[in-house]
Amino acid sequence: MVINFAAGPAKLPEEVLKEVQANLLNCNGSGISVMEMSHRSSNYAKIHDAALADLRELLKLPKNYKVLLMQGGGTGQFAAVALNLIGRTGTADYVITGSWSAKAAKEAAQYGKVNTVVPKVDRYIDVPRQETWKLDPNASYVYYCDNETVDGVEFDFVPQLPTDVPLVCDMSSNFLSRPIDVNKFGVIFAGAQKNIGPSGVTVVIVREDLIGKHLKITPSVLNFELMDKNDSLYNTPPTFGIYVMGQVFQWIKRNGGVAGMCERAKAKSKLIYDIIDKSNGFYICPVASRARSHMNLPFRIGSATGNEALEKEFLTKAESQGMIQLKGHRSVGGIRASLYNAITLAETQQLAKLMQAFYENNK
Ligand code: PMP
């Protein structure tokens, strides 16, 4: 038995993988695989449209929001967001709370002026309260990353902007893990490879009135207006990824919807954080408790900077019990357990059991 705690590409629901497998050679009775279907065929259209309809239902998307299925991953959207939105005033506000929002700001700076609204920090361990942000009233948009995958820093609030500047959010690593009020956002994007599917497809939700304001240099594949006008079929979309993602949406619907995912995420992450907090400093999560991620849980073992020998032993022990991909991101080290939607409570309990036993043996 293997339990995959990877940060992404990450575990998909076993049920979905089995459905994909059963349908692989003969997709929905077409006699061919989804990978071999024309993206203009009626068979594919059903898959494409069902995925979009299910996503709209899961998020209760208001009519004035468009869903685009794009390529280029989260990184593609770092550029796309700026290319499509920064033109209004030439500047944008970036709330940098981790390495992904930092990368997004760097990318956007190629296309306009970037204002960083919170002070630079050596280590990302908190979300500064909104009262401290230095917002620019002239910004074309305010950008933040809801869940920083590397640092394990997750917003515990949705920013309330004093003006009608649109809010742009990277939800790549916590998309569909908790209910959101889409009306509060101008753009939400998410690469699929954590919570909703394989890599290669990126979901972009855009408020209608923000479409059509791109810079002239915007490449066609990153152009929201072109993608929208062509129902995300301007060019060949990542058809297989969209198909798998659609199956994941169905699975989420069968399992309590986004609210169900949220309950699971709270229960799973609590199990692990409780062990950390009751370990008398043996396990250390550097993130402020209010900003602790429900999806990516980073921690050190033995000391705040980590006892590398102990951490190595922990990872070896975990692997010997089938628990894999628990190594922290190379930039921060230590351990990181990613508890995305597809990770079950029973699987999390296995990890909790290992952590408790390892603590008892080494404290
Ligand atoms: N944003 C977040 C929050 C991420 O975790 C990642 C990747 N892990 C990215 C953006 C970049 O995504 P991609 O690798 O698909 O470009």
- The domains found in the chain, sorted by start residue, are 14-255 (3.40.640.10), 257-361 (3.90.1150.10)
Ligand 1 mean position to 7 CA, how many Å? 10
**Nearest CA owner, ligand 1 atom 10:** 74
Q: Is 327 helix (H, G, I), strand (E, B) or coil?
A: strand
Ligand 1 pocket, residue 197 CB under 6 Å: no
Residue among 170, 172, 174 to mutate when testing ligand 1 (max atoms within 8 A of CB): 172
Sheet order of strands, 296-301 included: 283-284, 296-301, 335-338
For residue range 243-294, list pLDDT tens digits in order: 999 999 999 999 999 999 999 999 999 999 999 999 999 999 999 999 999 9
Distance CA 266, CA 256 (A): 14
| ipTM of the complex, rounded to two decimals | 0.99
Mean pLDDT of the chain: 97
Among 11, 93, 100, 146, the one annotated catalytic:
100
Please choose, from the candidates 80, 85, 81, 88, the residue with its C-alpha nearest in 3D space to the C-alpha of residue 220. 80
Is there a catalytic annotation at residue 317?
Answer: no
Among 11, 194, 268, 327, the one annotated catalytic:
194
Ligand 1 mean position to 100 CA, how many Å? 7
Q: Is 318 helix (H, G, I), strand (E, B) or coil?
A: helix
pLDDT for 116 equals 97
CA angle 265/60/51 to nearest 5° reads 85
CA angle 19/21/23 to nearest 5° reads 70
pLDDT for 1 equals 87
pLDDT for 122 equals 92
- 149 Cβ contact list (under 8 Å, min separation 6): 7, 8, 98, 100, 172, 173, 194, 295, 296, 329, 338
Crossing angle between the packed helical segments 345-362 and 308-320, to the nearest 10 degrees: 140
Question: Within a 10 A sphere around the Cβ of 209, how many other Cβ atoms?
Answer: 10
Quote the pTM value: 0.98
Distance CA 208, CA 166 (A): 12
pLDDT for 41 equals 97
Please choose, from the candidates 172, 126, 125, 124, the residue with its C-alpha nearest in 3D space to the C-alpha of residue 146. 172
For residue range 307-319, list pLDDT tens digits in order: 999 999 999 999 9
Please choose, from the candidates 265, 233, 241, 159, the residue with its C-alpha nearest in 3D space to the C-alpha of residue 192. 241
Q: Which residues of the chain have pLDDT under 70?
A: none
pLDDT for 163 equals 82
